[in-house]
């Protein structure tokens, strides 16, 4: 076991174990203070290698591995298309990468020796900042500078709308910052609580065997919660990705010709979600 800086129980990972064994070593100290960035970097490298491998080994007659990859990508494409309508496919690479990356960040918390970087607020804020800039870039690209600021003014269409501009503009600006920040806090809170819960039950398992003397292992009370963590890891990644998709949707132009079709497509897409 390791103790987090705020005294919350935390399951030991390879970096914290090295820190206990080699205290004072400059490299170990650096890794210890940047362990979330270290594990995040490992996931990025693993994803890059996997993507390279998957791209180089495509076949006209796909095997089980290629079928699995295509099934995952098709599912992510269907979800974004269901929410964004005919705009969706253009955003599948971003939303799909976001989902897979966050899922892997979450699932690392139940792999022995690793740690879930998403249980750290710095990681989730970084993800939120990425979504924020991507949404703003999308708004400017799809609407133009004028249309982007017109959106921030509340898209006034009559004299009443123009009269409310002094109120709507600051509210919309603040809202653009609040949306991604709420994502980061939601993801951080859920994953931090999940890791803390697992840490508590690991501690209880060790205490339960304390009568036999000092031991690094204990009764695995945490196993049911680790199985539940797999489900919550998927859910939290899906929630973050879907809310990001909705934030993108609010920035897209909705012309009258396609608006009805988009609504119908989103309804069909939502109805098909598991």
Residue-wise pLDDT tens digits, 221-270: 778 888 888 999 999 999 999 999 999 988 887 653 444 454 444 444 44
The answer to the question of residue 107 being in a domain is: yes
Binned at pLDDT 50, 70 and 90, residue 65 comes out as: confident
Q: How far apart are CA 238 and CA 250, in angstroms?
A: 18
User: Which of the pair, 259 or 100, is modelled with greater confidence?
Assistant: 100
The answer to the question of residue 47 being in a domain is: no
Q: What is the pLDDT of residue 236?
A: 93
Structural domain harbouring 244: 57-271
The answer to the question of residue 44 being in a domain is: no
Asked if residue 131 lies in contact with residue 249, where contact means CB atoms within 8 angstroms, the answer is no
Domains: count for the chain: 1
The answer to the question of residue 48 being in a domain is: no
Asked if residue 84 lies in contact with residue 248, where contact means CB atoms within 8 angstroms, the answer is yes
pLDDT digits (tens, 9 = 90+) for 148-194: 888 888 888 888 888 888 888 888 888 888 988 898 999 999 999 88
pLDDT of residue 109 exceeding 80: yes
Q: What is the pLDDT of residue 154?
A: 82
Q: How would you classify residue 8: left for phi > 0, otherwise alpha for psi between -120 and 50, otherwise beta? A: beta
Q: How far is CA 124 from CA 10, 119, 171, 210, in A?
A: 18, 8, 24, 37
Closest by alpha carbon to 88, among 211, 248, 235, 270? 248
pLDDT digits (tens, 9 = 90+) for 183-233: 899 999 999 988 888 888 888 887 777 666 666 666 777 788 888 889 999
pLDDT of residue 274 exceeding 60: no
pLDDT digits (tens, 9 = 90+) for 125-134: 999 999 999 9
The answer to the question of residue 40 being in a domain is: no
Can you give the pTM of this predicted structure?
0.83
The answer to the question of residue 261 being in a domain is: yes
pLDDT digits (tens, 9 = 90+) for 4-60: 444 566 788 899 888 888 888 889 899 889 999 999 999 999 999 988 887 777 777
What SS3 string covers 228-250? Answer: HHHHHHHHHHHHHHHHHHHHHHH
User: Which of the pair, 67 or 267, is modelled with greater confidence?
Assistant: 67
The answer to the question of residue 213 being in a domain is: yes
The answer to the question of residue 30 being in a domain is: no
């Amino acid at each position: 076991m390791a103790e987090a800086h705020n005294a919350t129980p935390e399951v030991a990972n390879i970096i914290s174990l090295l820190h206990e064994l080699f205290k004072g070593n400059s490299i170990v100290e650096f890794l210890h203070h940047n362990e979330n960035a270290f594990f995040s970097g490992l996931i990025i490298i693993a994803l890059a290698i996997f993507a390279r491998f998957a791209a180089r080994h495509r076949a006209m007659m796909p095997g089980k591995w290629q079928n699995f990859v295509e099934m995952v990508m098709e599912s992510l494409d269907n979800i974004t298309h269901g929410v964004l309508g005919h705009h969706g496919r253009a955003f599948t690479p971003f939303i799909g990468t976001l989902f897979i990356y966050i899922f892997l960040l979450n699932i690392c918390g139940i792999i022995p020796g690793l740690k879930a970087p998403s249980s750290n607020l710095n990681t989730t804020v970084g993800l939120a900042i990425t979504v924020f800039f991507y949404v703003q870039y999308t708004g400017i690209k799809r609407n133009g500078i004028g249309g982007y600021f017109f959106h921030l003014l509340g898209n006034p269409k009559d004299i009443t709308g123009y009269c409310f501009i002094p109120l709507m503009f600051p509210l919309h600006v603040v809202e653009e910052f609040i949306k991604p920040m709420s994502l980061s806090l939601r993801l951080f809170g859920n994953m931090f609580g999940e890791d803390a819960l697992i840490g508590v039950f690991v501690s209880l398992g060790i205490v339960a065997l304390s009568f036999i003397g000092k031991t690094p292992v204990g009764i695995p009370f945490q196993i049911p919660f680790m199985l539940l963590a797999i489900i919550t890891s998927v859910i939290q990644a899906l929630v973050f990705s879907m809310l990001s998709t909705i934030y993108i949707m609010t920035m897209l132009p909705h012309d009258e010709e396609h608006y009805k079709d988009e609504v119908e497509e989103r309804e069909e897409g939502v109805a098909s979600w598991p």
